[in-house]
Structure 1
């Protein structure tokens, strides 16, 4: 009889799971500690923390939006273009057409959902790869942005923007910037949807194995469209926040947010629930990026370090996400073999 194969103890597997799930959170804490030691006079202050929370709120919202289609194994590359169009349209409706700002914001957010649904229909019913389809629709959105603005910035006149509108970004609550609470609320809402509701479970099944999802009766196309619609809704909301922050419509600003959003969403696949996109993991990933960028900024790094940091982190994120997914598949296959061995009565497969 073949000698028993050595296996990791349950304690070792548990320790490995905790490292995989919470390693990124530990990295965020470590980065904060390191920068606090290196620049103690500026980094670990309430003013610095408030600045980080405010500056990274829009990338965080966009990363959470990008995460939604990723749960189904799809990507929405139009989110950057959609962000640019949304924030321009909000300002255009308020300044040029004189719309009440709440109505303008509502229309833009719902318009974002319509664009997202259109992306989903093109991908699922047109049977076009999500990379190509959303890149194409993104280019169309960018063309609309240029048409609306004439290629120029949307600048408030002497009357300016309503204070109540700009306060949705500039105000504070409990001493912290209000946008940080938007991010937290959105993350909790997405966590509840994805982890506690049937909709989220369907999206994860589709992302794991489309064929298996179809065999168990899940309408995969419909739920994939739902995922893109959710992403568009979040992008519309991010556009409203960007308009309140910038207070000037810049037709090309949206693309600056595309890479950080995907870095956060993909890096989030390696945390909390390793191997799959999840809201809390994305929140942790955004925290790592925010702390890292703020730290190197306070160290006086050159302007080119930001795209270098984002690009390098994206490569690491994709590699780690792929590794986590493969590890999860191997663990599932191993569990299946052990179950089969137990059923067949082979003791060598169950030796600890």
Structure 2
């Protein structure tokens, strides 16, 4: 019998815990400090901070939406297409159908829930891999967007959109852009759901081991559908804000937000609660991306620097997420190693929760 590895010292464990939990937050602070010292006249200004908060609000909300299915071990690749469809539908209902904007927004939010639930049904009851299923439904959403717009932009008439609608994005509160508070509100609700309610615990159990979740009586398919429906609701809300921001219906704009959303959600799973998709971690990850993009933009980076930064960060995020999961697995194996007097445990794939 091989001897178990020697336990790590308390300082080593504390260092590893702090680095894994707060390392990304420290990186965000370090990036802000570096760019502030390098660009003292433009970067640490109130106008620049307000611009970052405003410009990154929709990617942040979309990343929070992507976080929900990831908690169950699924991926919703349709969120970019759903964002494009949602914002086009808002414009279509307000501009071409003459609906009052609150009713149009409510209809789009309800439609987001329905579309998300359909994604969940296809994945869970159709037994189709979430990558393939949501890529297929996303392509269908893109087709619907093109059909609604006939491939052209939806432009309001001379009177424009109602000011009360555009103020959803353009207003400020306490001197900061109002969309930043939307992000905080969505993150707070998601944190409560995932960390404090049974629903969130069920989603995490499903993400860790669907078989174990089924053994203890959790209806895995139902709760996975709930996760996709919640993601659809958040995507619909992001589409409403995008319509208020752009004030035109652009059928192809949603795809630009897909990669940043997944970078934020996956990178967020490596911090605060390493190994788990979590709302606070997603916020920290989005902050790192926002600060980094704003900084390199002010240094005069070319247009291709943004996709390069996002793609590279996505690879790093996936690598860190895998490393964190393996480290948690090794730690759990060491901590649960049976003594000589105990019978060997069942294999991990057959072990109940």
> How does the TM-score come out when normalised to structure 1?
0.95
Match of residue 339 from structure 2: 341
Find the aligned partners of 2:315 and 2:131 in 1 and give their Cα distance: 17
Q: 2:188 aligned with 1:188, yes or no? A: yes
Matches within 5 A, 1:124-135: 124-135=124-135
User: Aligned partners of 1:97, 1:3: CA distance in 2, in Å?
Assistant: 73
Aligned to 1:285: 285
Distance 1:2 1:177, change over 3 A: closer
Deviation digits for residues 73-93 of structure 1, max 9, x if unmatched?
000000000000000000110
SS at match of 1:242: helix
**Is 2:318 the partner of 1:318?**
yes
Q: What is the SS of the residue equivalent to 1:341?
A: coil
The answer to whether 1:38 aligns with 2:38 is: yes
**Cα displacement string for residues 196-234 of structure 1 (whole angstroms, at most 9, x for unaligned residues):** 000000000000000000000000000000000000000
String of CA shifts for 1:162-190, please: whole Å, max 9, x gaps.
00000000000000000000001110110
SS across alignment from 2:314: helix
Deviations 1:51-107 (Å, cap 9, x if unpaired)?
000000000000000010000000000000000000000011001111010010010
Q: CA RMSD in A?
A: 1.5
Query: How much has 1:11 moved relative to structure 2?
Result: 3.0
Deviations 1:229-273 (A, max 9, x none): 000000000000000000011000000000000000000010100
3-state DSSP class of the match of 2:339?
helix
**Structure 2 residue 95 is the aligned partner of structure 1 residue 95:** yes
Tell me the distance in 1 between the aligned counterparts of 2:52 and 2:66. 21
Q: Deviations over 1:124-180 (max 9, x none)?
A: 000000000000000000000000000000111111100000000000000000000
Question: CA, structure 1 residues 71+39, in 2 after alignment: closer, same or farther (shift >3 Å)?
Answer: same
2:347 aligned residue: none
Alignment partner, residue 165 of structure 2: 165
Partners of 2:196 and 2:340 lie apart in 1 by 32
* TM-aligned CA distance change 1:325 to 1:160, over 3 Å: same
Size of the alignment, in residue pairs? 343
Confirm whether residue 177 of structure 1 aligns to residue 172 of structure 2: no
Looking at structure 1, the residues matched to 334 and 47 of structure 2 have their Cα atoms a distance apart, in angstroms, of 50
Shift of 1:6: 3.2
2:241 — aligned with what? 241
Match of 1:225 in 2: 225
- The correspondence of residues 1-352 of structure 1 with structure 2, limited to 5 A, is 6-337=6-337, 340-341=338-339
Distance 2:143 2:2 in 1: 67
Does the CA contact (< 8 Å) of 2:269 and 2:277 recur in 1?
yes
Counterpart Cα distance in 1 of 2:340 and 2:243: 61
- With normalisation by structure 2, the TM-score equals 0.95
Name the stretch that deviates more: 255-264 or 9-18: 9-18
**1:15 Cα deviation after fit:** 1.9
Aligned to 1:270, what secondary structure does the other structure show? coil
CA contact (8 A) 2:4 2:334 kept: no
Structure 1 equivalent of residue 348 of structure 2: none
Structure 1 residues without counterparts, runs of 5 or longer: 345-352
